[in-house]
Chains A and B, each alone.
Chain A
Amino acid sequence: MDLVHGLTYGLSVSLQPSNLVACFIGVFVGTLIGVLPGIGPVATMSLLLPVTFAMSPTASIIMMAGIYYGAMYGGSTTSILVNIPGEAASVVTCIDGYQMARQGRAGPALGISALGSFIAGTFSVLGIMLLAPPLTSVALRFGPPEIFGLLLLGFTMVTYLTAGSKLKAVAMALLGMLLGTVGLDPISASPRFTYGSVTLGDGLGLVPIIMGLFGISEVLLNIGQGVKQEVFDTRIKGLMPTREDWRRSAGPIARGSVLGFLLGILPGIGAIIPTFISYALEKRIARQPERFGRGAIEGVAGPEAANNAATGGSMIPLLTLGLAPNVVMAVLLGAFLIHGVQPGPLLIKEHPEIFWGVITSMYVGNVMLLVLNLPLIGLWVQLLRVPYGILFPLILLFCVIGVYSESANVWDIVVMLAFGVVGLLMKRFGFEAAPLVLAFVLGRMAEESIRQSLLMSSGRFSILLTRPIATVFVVAALSVVALPVLLPPVRRMLRTVPPDDTA
């Protein structure tokens, strides 16, 4: 199926009323939780997984994806108006966005982040359409050594691109994989770490772990530390950026789009790291770098474009390889599997309606988001005035409902609460949750691929270096480890990446 055919076919799917509704619910909920600090796309998507049981696979994935990129739009609103990130990928937007708001330019700041996000979102949808089909044919040649090489690259990325201690991130990744081995061995089906329990035989659930580490622990932290809630109280007027604003923003949006998209494809990156790199880049090449931090519109436009483009890029490994490059995609992978659809190289052939339908729905969704975030901005601002004392019991309740409804098992609520406590302690002691969860998801695949590789090679690890594609991944992984040591400037830049990549 060629591109034009794919595109028209995809639109015929995504414009069906039920899929349009799914898309709208997705981007609406995404904006909502993006605006609200303390609940992110990962927890929300896990929460809504059970709701998708009754929907068609296509509509489910459309809705789930909508939540993700919708959250990228919503997050910037809170960053600009309240100076706290509504969502982790909008941390950088606080710096110049809030300054703009203080100078009475909240309107253009909100406007440029919505329009910049739209441009970047559109760009990344085009990118997926161009890149995914050819990558699919490459992916068909992947055997266990290639998969293991790619996973290795993902693990090194996610641990080496963190701001905190790399060693701690490695520890968390190993712990995540170790937690993933609880249950039946994927190859011989013999029980491991189950202590004779049938419940543990099924392993620990992904949703309870995610909701605990990202949902409950965040609420606990907010309860314990208190949340400051000062919405910037000026009338927001003139959302449209001026000609001068556009002149300044065009470059950052273009660079942010390309950068975000390409980085988003790489495993382990997520949507947050590109925003920091974009900000650093714009500041470095700016003619007046001193304007940054004092309300430079470039500092809003670039990162906001980058995080939206990254959401598109990160769909590529999932759609072509069936491999989750970050935690959000891991949840999306779960949504596929619930419906008995295996994403990967065969998806485009076996389920073209999902492949093209989801991609084109992202374009439709971006148009909806533009309407939701520009004319309706006042609605979201009102939402920011709901006191946290009312919000947090509701968030906790939704977490409980989400986890229980997935399995109808109280055990999973207990697992979630336990991981909530663990997550709170991890935050207090400077350990990150993202490597743990990603490793938990990918650990099973890593184990299967390395064991199968060793079976193929009768126990020789050299198989990872004798096949060209696998070699590229392994060498890339090694250079990720080696580069920061060799290049101090790279190291300095990476140091600006924030501690918690909730992707």
Chain B
Amino acid sequence: MTGRERGAAAVLLVVGVIALEEASRLRFGSLARPGPGFFPVVLAAAFSLVCAALLVGPVRTRDADAPPLPRLGWPKVVATMAALFIYALVLEPVGFVAATFVLLLFFFRALERQRWLVALGSSLATALLTYLVFRVWLNVQLPAGLWGG
């Protein structure tokens, strides 16, 4: 376990203890007649124990010569996730085509630095095409709204 991994184990342990606390409020029943709380309590307890073991486990020396993790470009990852979360929130009020167009424009122009014309064109084409293929042709449910319908 490296320091970083210990941190992760600590977070998971907190999750486990909270789950155990919540599960213990459910009716446990008895071994002969197990209730709804039986399985969650056993699971949460076992999970917490394993996380605790991970937390106090020995430091592996092997980690020293393991190749370091490749650097992660966090700004781009965070920007992508933020865009997707906002997209999820506005999808139903705004409608599929309009929301998708803006999302793709953001990806193509802001993140990938395509030329404006290319970014606009491909975003619009993709939004319309996916709508036609999924909604009109495959009859899949997509959010209605201003442009959806």
Contacts and interface: CB of A to CB of B under 8 A. Distances in A.
Contact of B50 (A174, A219, A405): A174
Contact of A225 (B23, B71, B141): B71
A204 to B, nearest CB: 14
Contacts of A346: none
B146 to A, nearest CB: 16
A425 interface: yes
A420 B35 CA distance: 33
A308 to B, nearest CB: 29
Interface in A144-184: 165, 167-168, 170-171, 174-175, 177-178, 181
A192 B40 contact: yes
B73 to A, nearest CB: 5
A229 B134 CA distance: 30
Contacts of A51: 138, 140
A404 interface: yes
Given A397-B100, A420-B81, A171 B88 contact: no
Given A167-B53, A185-B36, A413 B30 contact: no
Given A171-B54, A389-B112, A431-B8, A394 B138 contact: no
A223 B43 CA distance: 35
Contact of B73 (A175, A216, A224): A224
Interface in A414-430: 414, 417, 420-421, 424-425, 428-430
A119 B117 CA distance: 49
A177 B39 CA distance: 9
A480 interface: no
B142 interface: yes
Contacts of B26: 190, 192
Interface stretch (A99-107, A274-282, A454-462): A454-462
B70 interface: yes
Interface in B18-74: 19, 22-23, 26-27, 30-40, 43-44, 46-47, 50-51, 53-54, 57, 69-74
Interface in B72-92: 72-74, 76-77, 80-81, 84-85, 87-89, 91-92
A404 B91 contact: yes
Contacts of B103: 393, 397
Contact of A417 (B81, B107, B143): B81
A394 B127 CA distance: 10
B130 A417 contact: no
A170 B49 CA distance: 11
Contact of B51 (A171, A392, A398): A171
B12 A175 contact: yes
A490 interface: no
B35 A188 contact: yes
Contacts of B84: 216, 396, 400, 417
B43 A177 contact: yes
A455 B81 CA distance: 47
A450 B130 CA distance: 45
* Residue in B46, B104, B141 with the greatest tally of chain A CB atoms within 10 Å: B141
A451 B142 contact: no
Contacts of A460: 31
Q: A interface, how many residues as a size bin?
A: 35 or more
A455 B134 CA distance: 48
A181 B20 CA distance: 12
Interface in B119-140: 122, 126, 130, 134, 138-140
Contacts of A393: 103-104, 107-108, 112, 126
Given A178-B43, A397-B104, A429 B72 contact: no
Nearest to B25: A192
A223 B111 CA distance: 10
B43 A174 contact: yes
A223 B76 contact: yes
Interface in A177-205: 177-178, 181, 185, 187-188, 190, 192-193
Contacts of B15: 175
A447 interface: yes
A226 interface: yes
Nearest to A191: B36
A454 B111 CA distance: 56
A454 B30 CA distance: 10
Contacts of B114: 389
Contact of A459 (B32, B47, B89): B32
Contacts of B87: 400
Nearest to B48: A174
Contacts of B46: 174
B4 interface: yes
A47 to B, nearest CB: 10
Given A168-B54, A429-B5, A54 B92 contact: no
A229 B147 CA distance: 37
A225 B70 CA distance: 7
* Residue in A171, A424, A429 with the greatest tally of chain B CB atoms within 10 Å: A171
A427 to B, nearest CB: 9
A364 interface: no
A329 B19 CA distance: 29
A454 B74 CA distance: 49
Contacts of B81: 220, 417, 420-421
A158 B71 CA distance: 29
Given A178-B19, A400-B87, A404-B143, A451 B134 contact: no
Contact of B130 (A174, A401, A455): A401
18 contacts: A178-B19, A178-B44, A187-B36, A223-B77, A224-B76, A225-B71, A389-B111, A389-B112, A393-B108, A393-B126, A397-B130, A401-B134, A405-B140, A421-B81, A430-B5, A447-B39, A454-B31, A455-B34
Given A171-B50, A187-B36, A397-B130, 16 more contacts: A178-B47, A219-B80, A223-B111, A389-B114, A393-B126, A394-B126, A398-B130, A400-B84, A405-B134, A410-B89, A417-B88, A425-B8, A447-B39, A451-B34, A454-B34, A455-B34
